[in-house]
Structure 1
Amino acid sequence: MTTSDFSAFISRLDFAWITSFHIIYPPLTIGLAAMLFIAEWRWVATEDPGWYRLCRFFEKLFVVNFGAGVATGVTMEMAFGILYGPFSQAAGPFFGQVLGYETITAFMYEAGFIGLMLFGWGKISRGMHLFATFNVAFASALSAFWIMDANSWMQTPSGVELKDGVFQITDWTKAILNPDFLYAMPHMVVASIELSLCFVAAVSAWYVLGGRHVALFRRALLWSVLTLIVVAPLQIWLGDGLGRTVARDQPAALAAIEGHYDTLTPSGRPNTGWHVVAWPNAKGDGTAWAITIPHVLSLLETHSWNGTVPGLNDFPKDQHPPVVIPFYAFRAMVAVGGLLFLVALWAAWLAVRGRLSVARIASNRWFLRALIVSGFLPYLAIWTGWWTREIARQPWIVYGLMRTRDGVSNMSAATAIFWLVGFMLFELMVWGGAWYFFAKVIRRGPDMDSPIPAPGNESLGHLETNPEEAEDSGYVRPV
């Protein structure tokens, strides 16, 4: 390996580290902002202070996560220029402008309303505060729109031509609404909602398991897990659509994800068995061993029994993506999706049997423990899904048009290592700080004593729990 190759490898490893840490924050920001809006809307509509208490509590966790996302996001954009200078220059006419749109139309938009959402309680009307919360949620989703659009364009570049080393825009509509984006964007948004549902359910289960504010958090838990019954299969369906898009537009990437090497068997029939587990052989032209289910790959990618799915050996060797990481990362993501759906069905079964009432919910200790574990599983799914997406695109930084090695900045090995160490320490510091404050907020619990803003910005006074009403709703009434 030459010094140039080593520097390029370190730069790629560095950016992989940066994006892997950053991507754990925006999805929770997107989903939790939407859930805060729904909780506040229910409070405004019903005058039920239980929704207010939940909204204020999870708002604190939202702020911690939002701050970590901003810190790591700014770092990631800085890393584009440092680690991928040639790519940033070549893709600037589209990629740079899209990131600029995200800053102007989403980040600054969100920043304008988040202050009202956090500090406007009791200072502005309920309707205006609800409007501010809605705009924070909307701006978070709009930010995801632009970021996913930029990344999707790297997967399926449309509406551009590479001329004199620069990607010139020929059709903005095609560039923005590129094929990958049409499924990748909703897939990421639903993943954000799924993560947030599991996060809220896990935190609520922890309180219920510990016997703290059971009535209040039973409500958040129940709404989260029952919504998951709809969201989990929706995510699976969107994932299937995205997979077929990859099969059509990035066939080499799909072949790597599935560990699929040979298109046809010796008999001339399509070889479309799906590998449950496998390992590539030493030559890299097949599997050394595999556990395979016949025809399933065809069913997944072509929705037919004997459809043709191109194998890796149909492509030049220098265009083969790595196989092991995307192969197993994809299966980990799918496994998490299936497990979350099973947890949602378990919750539905308990609800139908009346075992999620305030009086009985704490007795389902294994279910509550499963929910706590499920709070971490979506992070694993997002990580492995992102690794699958990015590694299977190799050796291209812009699929089919620009190789990654041509987009990496030319720097010495010492400089590359310096940036790697610096970014690693920064990301770990942010990650540690985020978890410290998450734990601090959760240990402290919700504020059940502060005045609740009333219509006209008047305080309702201190609150005490009404035992009869709290049985099912966690309702608290004014003294």
Structure 2
Amino acid sequence: MSNVELSALISRLDFAWVTTFHIIYPPLTIGLAALLFFAEWRWLRTNDETWYRLCRFFEKLFIVNFGAGVATGVTMEMAFGILYGPFSQAAGPFLGQVLGYETITAFMYEAGFIGLMVFGWGKISRGMHLFATFNVALASSLSAFWIMDANSWMQSPSGVEYKDGVFHIVDWYAAILNPDVLAAFPHKLVASFELSLFFAAAVSAWYILKGQHVALFQRSLKYSVLALVVVAPLQVYVGDSLGRVTADAKPAGLAAMEGHFHTYNPDGSPNTSWNVLAWPNAKGDGNAWSIQIPHVLSLLETHTFDQPVPGLDQFAPQDRPPVVIPFYAFRIMAAIGGFLTLVAFWGGWLAWRGRLSVTRVTQNRWFLRAIIFSGFLPYLAIWTGWWTREVSRQPWVVYGLMRTEDGVSNMSVMSAIFWLVGFMTFELIVWAGTWYFLAKVVRKGPDMDSPIPGEGHEQLGHLADNSSNPGGEPEYIRPV
């Protein structure tokens, strides 16, 4: 391997590290912002202090995660210019505009309202504070759209002409609403809600399992589980829609995800078998072994019984993506999605049977443990989904138009190592700090004593801490 190839490899690994660590923060920001809005809206509608205490508690977790997302997001934009200079220059006419839209319509928009949301309690009216929280949630989703739009354009470039080393925009509508984003953005948005709901449910289950603030966190657990009964299977459906878009826009990537090497069997019939597990052979032109189910691949990708699905043999060897990472990462993601759906249905059944009430929720210890375990799984699903998406696009940085090797910056091996060590150190510090402060907030627990802002709180009083009576109903202390 030459120095140029080694430098390019290190730079690619470096960017993979940066994006892998950044991608875990925005989904929680997006989903938690929506949950905070819901909790605050319920507080205003019912004047039930439980919703206020939940909102203030999860707001602290939101702030920690938001700060980490901003820090790693800025780092990722730096990495574009440092590690992928030629690509950044070539794609600037599109990516520069899209990221500019994200800054104006999302990042600055969000920054303007997040101060009101965090520091405006008791200083602005309840209605205005709810409006600020709503705008934080909306801006977070807008930010996700523009970022996913930029990445989706790399997966299914449209509306551009690539000439003289630059992508020239010929149709802004087609470029922004490219085929991939119409399925990828809903997939990411629903994934954000699913992750945040499981995160909130896991934190709530942890407190309930420990017998602390049971009356408070029973509310957040029950509502999260009921929402997951809809969100978890919806995510599976949206993921299937994205798979069909990938089959049309990135067929080589789909073939790699399925370990599908041969379009037709030796007898000339369509190869419609789905590989449950497989491993490529030494030549890279087939599987050394595989466990297959006939016709399932065609059913999954074309919704027919025997329609051909293009295999890797339909593409030149130099245009084929790696197989092992997208193949197994995709299966891990899909398996997690199925498992989380089952856990959501389990919780829905318990709620239907009345077993998630304040008096009975502590009896479901195995379910509570399953929820706590499930709190980490959406992160793993997002990681493996992202690896599937990015590795299956190779060897292209812009699918079918610009190869990754042409987009990587030309730097010395020592420079590449310097940036790799620097970015790795920074991301690990942010990651460790994030989990330290999240754990600190959880250990400290919710504030049950501070006065409630706004008019009317003196009639309601404050919710008693019933840690000593975890099975009891909420007790409200009236002011004397």
User: Distance in 2 between the 1:324 and 1:195 partners?
Assistant: 26
Aligned to 2:49: 49
- Name segments (4+ residues, structure 1) moved above 3 Å: 458-462, 470-478
Q: What amino acid sits opposite 1:329 in the alignment?
A: A
Q: For 2:325 and 2:473, how far apart are their aligned partners in 1?
A: 46
Letter in 1 for 2:216: L
Partner of 2:284: 284
Cα displacement string for residues 92-125 of structure 1 (whole angstroms, at most 9, x for unaligned residues): 0001111111111100110000000000000000
Q: Distance in 2 between matches of 1:85 and 1:205?
A: 46
**Distance across 1 between alignment mates of 2:314 and 2:116:** 57
Q: Does 1:465 align with 2:452?
A: no
Distance (whole Å) between structure 2 residues aligned to residue 451 and residue 354 of structure 1: 33
Q: What 5-or-longer segments of structure 2 have no aligned partner?
A: none
Residue 113 of structure 1 corresponds to 113
Q: Distance in 1 between matches of 2:279 and 2:215?
A: 50
Residue of structure 1 equivalent to 2:250:
250
Which residue of structure 1 aligns with residue 412 of structure 2?
Answer: 412
Q: Which amino acid aligns with 2:423?
A: F
Separation in structure 1 between the aligned mates of residue 471 and residue 205 of structure 2, nearest angstrom: 17
Structure 1 CA distance for aligned equivalents of residues 327 and 229 of structure 2: 27
Deviation at 1:454, TM superposition (A): 2.5
Number of the residue aligned with 2:149? 149
- Verify: 1:26 aligned to 2:26, yes or no: yes
Superposed counterparts of 1:33-44, under 5 Å: 33-44=33-44
Task: For residue 295 of structure 1, report the CA deviation from its aligned partner.
Answer: 0.5
- Partner SS for 2:442: helix
- Opposite residue 462 of structure 2, the aligned amino acid is L
Query: What residue number does 1:397 align with?
Result: 397
Amino acid in the other structure paired with 1:75: T
Q: Tell me how far apart the structure 1 counterparts of residues 159 and 145 of structure 2 sit (CA, whole Å).
A: 18
Partner of 1:313: 313
Q: Does the CA-based 8 Å contact 1:209-1:368 persist in structure 2?
A: yes
Counterpart of 2:109, as a letter, is Y
Match in the other structure for 1:348 = 348
The 8 Å contact of residues 326 and 387 in structure 2, kept in 1 or not, is answered as: yes
1:132 aligns with 2:132: yes
1:192 corresponds in structure 2 to 192
Deviation at 1:355, TM superposition (A): 1.5
- The amino acid of 1:397's aligned partner reads V
AA paired with 2:62? F
Q: Contact (CA 8 Å) 1:219, 1:473: kept in 2 or not?
A: no
> Deviation string for 1:183-203 (max 9, x for gaps)?
000000000000000000000
1:453, distance to aligned residue in structure 2 (A): 1.0
For 1:128, the aligned partner's letter is M
Whole-angstrom CA distance in 2 between matches of 1:385 and 1:108: 29
- The residue type equivalent to 2:369 in the other structure is R
Shift of 1:475: 6.3
Contact kept in structure 2, 1:259 and 1:327, CA below 8 Å: yes
Q: What CA deviation, in whole Å up to 9, does each residue of 1:254-298 have, x standing for no partner?
A: 000000000000111110111111000000000000001110000
**Contact kept? 2:362, 2:471, Cα under 8 Å:** no
TM-score by length of 1: 0.97
8 Å contact kept, 2:93–2:169: yes
What is the rounded CA distance, in whole Å, between the counterparts of 1:466 and 1:420 in structure 2? 48
Residues 110 and 477 (structure 1), Cα distance of their counterparts in 2 relative to 1, 3 Å cut: farther
Check whether the contact 2:360–2:471 (CA below 8 A) recurs between aligned residues.
no
Taking the aligned partners of 1:169 and 1:353, their CA distance within structure 2 comes to 57
* Percent of aligned pairs with the same amino acid: 73
Shift, 1:213, TM fit: 0.5
The number of equivalent residue pairs is 477
Root-mean-square deviation (CA, aligned residues, Å) is: 1.5
- CA shift for structure 1 position 383: 0.2
**2:204 paired residue number:** 204
* SS of residue matched to 1:161: strand
Kindly state the Cα deviation for residue 460 of structure 1 after the two structures are TM-superposed: 6.4
Q: Distance in 2 between matches of 1:222 and 1:229?
A: 11
Q: Please tell me whether the aligned partners of residues 464 and 477 of structure 2 are also in contact (alpha carbons under 8 angstroms).
A: yes
| AA in 1 matched with 2:6 | F
Structure 1: which amino acid aligns with 2:193? Answer: I
Could you list the per-position Cα deviations for residues 375-394 of structure 1 after superposition, in whole angstroms to 9, with x for gaps in the alignment? 00000000000000000000
TM-score w.r.t. the length of structure 2 is: 0.97
2:66 corresponds to: 66
Distance 1:417 1:277 in 2: 36
> For residues 82 and 430 of structure 1, what CA distance do their matches in structure 2 show?
20
Mapped partners of 2:262, 2:343: distance in 1: 37
> Which residue identity lines up with residue 355 of structure 2 in the other structure?
R
Distance, in Å, in 1 between the alignment partners of 2:56 and 2:394 is 44
CA drift of 1:352 comes to 2.2
Q: Distance in 2 between matches of 1:473 and 1:114?
A: 34
Deviation at 1:466, TM superposition (A): 9.2
The residue aligned with 1:271 is 271
What is the letter of the counterpart of residue 202 of structure 2? A
Distance 1:139 1:349 in 2: 34
1:474 Cα deviation from its structure 2 partner: 4.0
> For the residues of structure 2 that align with 1:329 and 1:473, how far apart are their CA atoms?
45
> 2: CA distance between counterparts of 1:27 and 1:445?
23
Is residue 463–residue 474 contact of structure 2 (8 Å, CA) maintained in 1?
A: no
Contact map agreement 2:359 2:473 (CA 8 A) in 1: no
2:49–2:463 Cα contact (<8 Å) kept:
no
Partner of 1:382: 382
What amino acid is aligned across from residue 388 of structure 1 in structure 2?
A: T
CA contact (8 A) 1:262 1:271 kept: yes
CA displacement, residues 188-237 of structure 1 (integer Å, 9 cap, x when unaligned): 00000000000000000000000000011001000001110100111111
Q: Deviations over 1:31-58 (max 9, x none)?
A: 0000000000000111001000000000
Match of 1:451 in 2: 451
Question: Deviation of residue 463 (structure 1)?
Answer: 2.4
SS across alignment from 1:359: coil
Q: Secondary structure at the match of 1:455?
A: coil
Unaligned runs of 5+ in 1: none
**One-letter code aligned to 1:426:** F
Question: Which residue does the alignment assign to 2:238?
Answer: 238
Letter in 2 for 1:112: G
Assess if the C-alpha contact under 8 Å between 2:159 and 2:173 holds in 1: yes
Query: 1:455 Cα shift?
Result: 2.3
Residue 439 of structure 1 is matched in structure 2 by 439
Check whether the contact 1:198–1:375 (CA below 8 A) recurs between aligned residues: yes
Q: By how many angstroms is 1:471 displaced?
A: 7.3
